[in-house]
Amino acid sequence: MIDIALPKGRLGEKVYEILAQAGYPCPAIQEENRKLVFENPQAGVRYFWVKPSDVAIYVERAAADIGIAGKDILLEYQPEVYELADLGIGKCRMCVAGRKGARDCRDQTLRVATKFPKIAKSYYSAQSRDIDIIKLHGSIELAPLLGLSDVIVDIVETGKTLLENDLEVKETIVPISARLIANKVSYKFKHEEITRLCQQVDQYCRERGKTL
Amino acid sequence: MKEIHSEQVVRQLRELYRRYGYTQYRMSKFEPYDLYVHNKSFLISEDILTFTDADGRLMALKPDVTLSIVKNAKEGSGLQKVYYSENVYRTSPMTRGFREIMQTGLECVGDIDLVAMGEVLLLAARSLDMICEDYLLDVSHMGFVAGLLDSAGAGEDSRGELLKLMGEKNVSGLGTLCRELGLDPEASEDLCQLTGLYGAPEELLPALEDMVRGERMAQALAELTAVCTLTPQAHLQLDFSMVNNMDYYNGLIFQGYLPGLPSGVLSGGRYDNLLRQMGRGDGAIGFAIYMNLLERLEGAREDYDADVLLLYDETTPASAVLGEAERCRRAGESVRVERWVPEGLTFRTIRKVG
């Protein structure tokens, strides 16, 4: 039995679709109810939904054998896990964004609003830049509009929110996509099962890639 | 799985090491800060808890036992074989604040040969076996990995990042980085393959022959093959994604795992480079077991604080109370004697004397 942590939301549903097609279906998961854990003994899987930013924690502490997490979460929390595959979905990029046309003042401490303080810190410290991090939990785009920060470091998918708020991407820090992660000890004790799952997912993704 | 009591395990481990002629190393809770600050990157967590001693010297609550053992082992006086069971003070990345961690382990310092390596690895296997028969012992060789990185043309500055990706078994990311760095394509291919490998030595060792480039890798592979034959095969696995700091570790490295624990419980290896940095010419190998992790394996908690609560009042003679309690205990029950039912405790049965 493999325990799989799925990130709640659109990405998680897409991921479940891939896993189901790759031979790990669990019909109960699509029923409308408030259950949190779904099991399919025939396929040897148990799924559960968790908050996307918690997936890495469930996997690191072996409450889940494997899980699906965005590269953004992995970069921010640096969990001790194996990163076995890039699923190539949930693609977006980690960017620096600010008000359109705003000048980048190097003579002042840059105020950066973000949900990802670690990523922001390491990006700017690589440029030897002193920054003031403002940790927010949502609506990051609001910060530069109200003068709370000079720029934001955030995920940009289509750039539509930025556009509508008169903001623009200044720099791209790193491309992001969904990754299949595994607990290091589970990987060893359930090596055959986890490797088989990875291969089947990989094969499915490749075939689908060809038809797209 | 049999029930596990960490206190009992520590006793059994001590006895095991003693029977292999290792002597116990005891150290004080704190040491001068200098020792640790000079070798900061050897430590798993770099945070050190410090305080000022009565004479104004900066002291540290020991974050590690190995450094102190190596410092005190005399060079050129044969092998020093010691074991220890000590508390160390570290931060964990997940919780930040400092934690007291119980560590049991052993070190063999001096002129390390195949016998010494084989013995230490065997002791690691036997230690794990003592805790749980379903253990796994993963083995790797830093010489082999370093040799491959050399032949791929990886510079010192890019190594950290390459090793990090290897540690994540992130094969696709590793391939991309190798291309970006312009490393030798064939060696990069081998590096990716090596990272993804996991399995028993007898299956994997032959495949490694083809990756050998140069004397260093050939030597490493020969050493690894020889050591593997000296250890019980059933639980041994090769995993080259296990990478330790190359500034300190140079040869055989290994890690032990138990089912039901989220991370490795035993970690060890050959660290001649640490000794070289301390200005010595000989070598060392050893391992540590993180005893605090075993708490999670301990059997189900008992449902009751005691089997029997024996109540009495002013009218009962003391000898009758104590006598009855003693009779129950002789029958194998745990008995608590009180005048009133204590709050917050649970008992299988509650009865009055008489």
User: Which residues in chain B have Cβ-Cβ distances shorter than 8 Å to A188?
Assistant: 136, 138, 198, 237, 239, 257
Per-residue pLDDT at A132 exceeds 90? yes
Beta-sheet strand order (sheet of B30-32)? B30-32, B58-61, B50-52
pLDDT value at residue B42: 74
Q: Using CA of residue B110, residue B115, residue B119, residue B121, what is the dihedral sign?
A: positive
| pLDDT recorded at residue A79 | 93
Question: Rounded distance, CA B81 to CA B106, Å?
Answer: 7
A and B: number of Cβ contacts within 8 A = 44
Angle at B23 between CA B20 and CA B27, to 5 degrees: 145
Q: Is the pLDDT of residue A128 over 70?
A: yes
- Cβ burial B188-205 (10 Å sphere, 16+ → b, else e): bebbbebbbbbeebeebb
For position B247, what pLDDT does the model report?
78
Q: Tokens for B53?
A: 């001693």
In the three-class reduction of DSSP (H, G, I as helix; E, B as strand; rest coil), residue A50 is classed as strand
Test A184 with B170 for CB contact under 8 angstroms. no
Q: Quick one: pLDDT at residue B3?
A: 61
How many degrees, rounded to 5, is the angle at CA B286 between CA B281 and CA B288?
A: 145
- Kindly list the strands in the beta sheet with B335-338, ordered across the sheet, starting from the edge strand earlier in the chain: B335-338, B306-311, B347-352
ipTM of the complex: 0.85
Question: Residue B324: helix, strand or coil by DSSP?
Answer: helix
CA distance A170 to A102: 10
pLDDT at A66 over 70: yes
- The tokens of B306 are what? 């005691």
Whose tokens are 């980085």? That residue is: B177
* Strand ranges for B234-305 from DSSP E: 236-238, 252-257, 266-270, 283-290
Exposed / middle / buried, residue A159 (Cβ in 10 Å: 0-12, 13-18, 19+): middle
Q: How close A151 comes to chain B (CA, Å)?
A: 28
* A185/B138 CB distance under 8 A: no
DSSP notation for B281-294: SSEEEEEEEEGGGG
| C-alpha triplet A201, A202, A203: angle, nearest 5° | 90
* Token pair for B294: 């075993």
CA distance linking residue B50 with residue B160, whole number of Å: 29
Q: Is B200 on the interface with A (CB under 8 A)?
A: no
Nearest to B105 by CA among B242, B271, B326, B285: B285
Put the strands of the sheet holding A151-156 in their side by side order: A131-135, A110-114, A151-156, A92-99, A167-176
Gap between the Cα atoms of B142 and A96, Å rounded: 39
pTM score: 0.86
Q: Angle B70-B74-B78 (CA atoms, 0-180°, nearest 5)?
A: 105
Strands (DSSP E) found in B158-220 = none
Any B CB within 8 A of A118 CB: no
Q: Does A69 touch chain B (CB under 8 A)?
A: no
Tokens for A7? Answer: 């990130």
CA B283/CA B275 separation, integer angstroms: 7
H or E element that contains A71: helix A71-77
**Please, which pLDDT band fits residue A212 given cuts at 50, 70 and 90?**
low
- Alpha carbon distance A18, B11 (integer Å): 50
> Residue B59 in contact with residue B34, Cβ under 8 Å?
no
Q: State the smallest CA–CA distance between residue A161 and chain B in angstroms.
A: 30
Architecture of domain B1-135+258-300: 2-Layer Sandwich (3.30)
- The predicted structure's pLDDT at residue B1: 44
Nearest residue on chain B to A57, alpha-carbon basis: B94
Q: Where are the domains of chain B?
A: 1-135+258-300, 147-234, 302-352
Q: Do B168 and A82 touch (CB under 8 A)?
A: yes
Which of A61, A81, A184 to mutate: most B Cβ within 10 Å?
A184
Residue A153's pLDDT is 96
Residue contact A62–B261, C-beta within 8 A? yes
Average pLDDT estimate for A132-157: 94
pLDDT above 90: residue A69: yes
- Distance between CA atoms of B221 and B208, rounded to whole angstroms? 8
- In this prediction, the residues of chain B whose per-residue pLDDT falls under 50 are 1
Instruction: Round to whole Å and give the CA distance between A193 and A43.
Output: 11
Alpha carbon of residue A24 to chain centroid = 22
- Alpha-helix residue ranges (DSSP H) falling in B46-109: 66-72
For residue A175, the chain B residues in CB contact (below 8 A) are none
- CB of B175 within 8 Å of a chain A CB? The answer is no
Q: What does the pLDDT look like over B81-105, one tens digit per residue?
A: 999 999 988 877 666 678 888 999 9
B237:A188 CB<8 A: yes
Bigger pLDDT: A107 vs B325: B325
Which of the residue ranges A164-168, A182-186, B300-304, B329-333 would you say has the lowest mean pLDDT?
B300-304
Q: Vertex A112, ends A111 and A115: CA angle to 5°?
A: 150
